[in-house]
Amino acid sequence: MDDRIEDFTLIGTTILRREDGYLLRGRAKFLDDLPEPKGLIHLAFVLSPHARANILSIDASAAMALPGVVDVLTGRDFTDDIKPFAPTIEIDGYRDVRRPVVAVDRVNFVGEYVAVILAETPYAAQDALELVEVDYEPLEAVVGIREALRDDAPAVHEHLGNNLIFKGEFSTPEFDKHFASGEVVVEGEFRTGRVTGAMIEPRGVLAVPDPIATTVTLWTPTQIPHIVRTAICEHLGISESLLTVATPAVGGGFGTKAHVYPDELIAVALARRYCRAVKWVQDRREDLLTNAHARDFLLRIKVALDREARIRAVYLDIKTDGGAYPNHPYSPTLESTGCARMMLGPYRISHYKYDVCSVMTNTTPTGAYRGTGQPPAFMAIEGIMDRIGRRMGIDPAEVRRRNTIRAEEFPYVNAVGVRYDTGSYYESLQEGLQAIGYDEFRKTQPADRLVDGKYRGIGICNYLEVTGTGAPGWRARGFAKMPGFDSSRVVIEPDGKATVYVSQADAGQGHYTTYAQIVADRLGLSWEDVIVVEGDTSKVPYGTGTFASRGSVVGGGTVIRGCEKVKAKVRRIAAYMLGVPPERLVLAGGRVHDRDDPNTGLTMHEVAETAYSMNNLGLPQGEEHGLEATDYYDPPLVTMANGCHVVQVAVDPETGSVTIERHVAVHDCGRVINPAIVAGQVQGATVQGIGEALMEELVYDGEGQLQNANLLDYLLPTAMDVPDLVLRNIETPSIDTVAGIKGTAEAGLTGAVPAIANAVNDALAGLGVDVNRIPLRPSYIFDLIRGAQAAGGGRK
Amino acid sequence: MILDGETLIPADRRAVWKALNDPDVLRSCIPGCQSLERQSDTDFTSSVRAAVGPVSATFGAKITLSEIEPDRGYTISGEGKGGAAGFARGKARVDLTDEAGGTRLRYNADVNVGGKLAQVGSRLIQGTAKKLSEEFFGRLAEQLGGGELATGAARPAPAAAAASSSVPGGRRLWAGIGLIAVIAMAWWLGR
């Protein structure tokens, strides 16, 4: 099949999201809005208050005596029918760690499930929580990457002997020689704070057995229904035919909901065991405490350059905190190898070496969150670009220009073997600089950066975004069981209208609009006549799901391919009906007609009636009834989108607070399906990046106690923190993907975080301080300013 | 979390010491104390009803006295465990010295809280400790200052005695956290 399609009609135009009609009217049905079956059992989880402890005893007698309590179960009650999590990661240096769905004998993080309450009402379940007496023997907890790596640190998992769950390395040939050829060496260290998705809707489960409990439907707001189904069935030892995983309306996923969680397995197991429906809805504290955290990184980067600031070689050392157990199904390697492979960015870096490790600590397991590994990667490479500039007396924009891959160099294969097929790396940088008025800003910026009593600086992040990873891309990183493909089934119904079933799971991305738009475009229908079905394993063919910016590249790609397959059949049948060759037929305006004669021809309805045997015409010889096609699309290794954020900030010397005054986001995601939705993705991710850069951080004390599992203390950006974003779009279609589409969901975050950090660094450059960790809270910035002033730098 | 402070109690050192070792006095001075029983010369068990922000619960705790120097001071350690509200562990050194107008009580406590208390109450703990310890010292000072030890329910005397102490820099030393940090912390926060 020729994937290079050019004759677009609706693709590339803004259509307002059909989802917004019911979302904005409050009519969407989220998990907790689903009708509750009779005889429902409500769950509540007893959470460990200790970061590391032996469980000496659990006394549930008082809880069991409470009216309305059905049962109280502990870890041992599940060991027979639920296997522990142990993600399959086939990469050198990864070591297996297993996680029981409910702790057995030992807890390893605050918030780990210790017991499960089953009750007739949610109230009884909550009351019973207070009555379960657990006797713990607290043990010394391991908290923090450096602490975990100390020789005398206790091993979180004794069988490992230390706390390294993963240790990897990579080097291009003769790296040391090339590094040594550098005439200038610039180094930097960076620290990124632990954050989480903080979706507006926390997670929950509703498992509904059929009357004889042979099959179960699990409602869960997941981004990966098929992966969840496979994981549950594997771990419970039941047939995949017996389980349906379905998503209601989902209030945000952001990667946090792209994991398999213990409660999903528990709910299905209990629905089968008790032959009753089982429900649990997470509260905000449980969300922040137990859902996957992310981004807990320490990075050290060393760059060797020639005297013209051209990069000769880059060395990167990455350490990530995986938390107490590997997340399922990715393990901590998702973040660490993702960072290592993305750090090269849009730059001509031929010689590269990295060391990477992930440690186990007594904290919440970390995993995917919008941008996964990329904001830290670009903190490092974009942070070092600025430091190179300052060190060598060259404008940081010019340092980037000298090293950025130019249009004539595509396709470019980078040092880790990733192909950059097309891009606008240089053009995006220039566009961003121009849009913010970079040169004028620099001309008037005083050496001490003080303008109107505030330090003002400008920061750049010239990024790539990895999107639409295919099977080879997952295999290259050791994800042996990650499918990589996605699929669609495109059906033209007897009335000539279409339904498309896609192996994706919308969490707010607008799939119900964009896939309809694609089908309408390819089949010449009105987009209102196309219905999109997804998020239900009993209805859609198998696929990987909606995460890692897959929806447009892989989901969009398979929908287009499915349409082309159906289109071929439409043409064959219409050709037979009209007596013209199929290649002369065009699908447009709900009709099929000769390309030179739009006035004759057939309606799609008439063609469909023939296909469904609803007239006397019959089918061409050898043709089957029906008018549908199924497609499985495994995209290239990866598809790289790119862009550039340029940000101007003001730092208040008296308070240390940072205000973003101007923020330009240039983005290039190849062929655009719906410009308004792309703009929404860039804008939303940028706002999350502002949160990550300035305020969000999950804080642990030295004993592994999470200090801020609430939204009063875990700060999220509000409208007050967000400037008017200037969005610019460049469209450089891929030559490797279907229709040239590249993904777009995470880039805003990857661009915003380093650009803001660099802008603050630039604002404080007159003080000679090194701003190298996020979040850039006022207390941190204030201390840096005061420290510099005390040392004689800066004003006063 | 390190908490320290000092307060002047208008009673002589021996009387203060005696009060600090008298379960009846302690029971009446500790805010929310439902029970306090001496299990041995150095061990107590207690049950205290307390609230830290949105988290309220009855905390059961074990308290142990050590490094006892009669009339001069002791180290008090406490541990509460279990319960949906979380737990607390604390240890504090309490020292008494003579001073014009009474006895200077200094304390230095190291308190750790865990579970829900830490997750949703961290920002409130310092303030709660201050409030509870002010209440504790207020009641203690009142009882001792009155010359006799009441065993009935003490009246709350918010901040009165506590506020009277200060450190040289002018920074107010809420007598706070002290004993409570100790006694209280260990158990009210405890369990």
In terms of DSSP H, where are the helices of chain B? Answer: 13-20, 23-29, 116-145, 160-163, 177-179
> Which of A509, A463, A514 has its CA nearest to residue A667?
A463
* Residue A711: pLDDT over 70: yes
Measured CA angle at A402 (ends A397, A403), to 5 deg: 100
Band the pLDDT of B184: cuts 50, 70, 90. Answer: very low
Question: What residues are paired with A192 via a beta bridge?
Answer: A297
Kindly state the average pLDDT of the residues B110-128. Answer: 84
Band the pLDDT of A366: cuts 50, 70, 90. Answer: very high
Please give the Cα distance from A268 to A265 (Å, whole number). Answer: 5
H/E stretch holding A757: helix A747-763
Stretch among A220-229, A251-260, A508-517, B1-10 having the lowest mean pLDDT:
B1-10
Using CB atoms and an 8 Å cut-off, which of residues 11-50 of chain B contact chain A? none
Please give the Cα distance from A11 to A622 (Å, whole number). Answer: 34
CB–CB of B120 and A133 under 8 A? no
B81 touches chain A (CB under 8 A): yes
Kindly state the average pLDDT of the residues A95-108. Answer: 98
Mean pLDDT score across all residues of chain A: 96
Q: What's the pLDDT at B126?
A: 78
* Residue B55: pLDDT over 80: no
Across the interface, which of B84, B120, B123 has its CB nearest the CB of A709?
Answer: B120
Structure tokens at B122: 């961290």
A704, closest residue in chain B (CA to CA): B114
A176 touches chain B (CB under 8 A): no
Mutate to test the interface with B, among A52, A706, A714, A779 (most CBs of B within 10 A): A706
Higher pLDDT, B34 or A670: A670
Dihedral sign from CA coordinates of A92, A373, A331, A194:
positive
DSSP assignment, residue A371?
Answer: T
Band the pLDDT of B175: cuts 50, 70, 90. Answer: very low
Q: In B, which residues are within 8 Å of A705 by CB distance?
A: 112-115, 118-119
Task: Give the gap in angstroms from C-alpha B59 to the nearest C-alpha of chain A.
Answer: 12
Integer angstrom CA distances of residue A68 from A118, A119, A122, A124, A278? 9, 6, 9, 6, 14
CB–CB of A705 and B120 under 8 A? no
A707 touches chain B (CB under 8 A): yes
Q: What's the pLDDT at A770?
A: 93
* Residue B191: pLDDT over 70: no
In percent, how much of chain A has pLDDT > 90? 97
- The predicted-structure confidence for A418-433, as pLDDT tens digits, reads as follows 999 999 999 999 999 9
Q: In A, which residues are within 8 Å of B113 by CB distance?
A: 705
Q: How many CB atoms lie within 10 A of CB A537?
A: 23
A698 touches chain B (CB under 8 A): no
Q: What's the pLDDT at B56?
A: 76
Q: In B, which residues are within 8 Å of A196 by CB distance?
A: none
- The answer to whether A382 touches A754, Cβ cutoff 8 Å, is yes
Q: What's the pLDDT at B179?
A: 36
CB–CB of A49 and B116 under 8 A? yes
- The predicted-structure confidence for A718-734, as pLDDT tens digits, reads as follows 999 999 999 999 999 99
B55 touches chain A (CB under 8 A): no
* Residue A332: pLDDT over 70: yes
Band the pLDDT of A4: cuts 50, 70, 90. Answer: low
Q: In B, which residues are within 8 Å of A129 by CB distance?
A: 84
Task: Give the gap in angstroms from C-alpha A54 to the nearest C-alpha of chain B.
Answer: 13
Q: What's the pLDDT at B134?
A: 79
CB–CB of B84 and A129 under 8 A? yes
H/E stretch holding A728: strand A725-729
CB–CB of B84 and A46 under 8 A? yes
- The predicted-structure confidence for A598-636, as pLDDT tens digits, reads as follows 888 999 999 999 999 999 999 999 999 999 999 999 999
Q: In B, which residues are within 8 Å of A708 by CB distance?
A: 119, 122
Kindly state the average pLDDT of the residues A435-461. Answer: 97
CB–CB of B120 and A710 under 8 A? yes
- The answer to whether A510 touches A17, Cβ cutoff 8 Å, is yes
Three-state SS for A9? Answer: coil
CB–CB of B115 and A712 under 8 A? no
Across the interface, which of A110, A288, A708 has its CB nearest the CB of B115?
Answer: A110
Q: What's the pLDDT at A793?
A: 52
Q: In B, which residues are within 8 Å of A712 by CB distance?
A: 123
Q: What's the pLDDT at A3?
A: 54
CB–CB of B118 and A705 under 8 A? yes
* Residue A125: pLDDT over 50: yes
- Tell me the ipTM for this assembly: 0.84
A110 touches chain B (CB under 8 A): yes
Q: What's the pLDDT at A442?
A: 97
A and B: number of Cβ contacts within 8 A: 54
Measured CA angle at A612 (ends A606, A618), to 5 deg: 80
Stretch among A65-74, A473-482, A500-509, B148-157 having the lowest mean pLDDT:
B148-157
Q: What's the pLDDT at B187?
A: 41
Band the pLDDT of B154: cuts 50, 70, 90. Answer: very low
B82 touches chain A (CB under 8 A): yes
Kindly state the average pLDDT of the residues A503-526. Answer: 98
Across the interface, which of B115, B120, B123 has its CB nearest the CB of A49?
Answer: B115
In percent, how much of chain A has pLDDT > 70? 99
Integer angstrom CA distances of residue A456 from A197, A657, A660? 30, 12, 10
In sequence order, the 6+-apart residues with CB closer than 8 A to the CB of B26 are B19, B20, B33, B36, B183
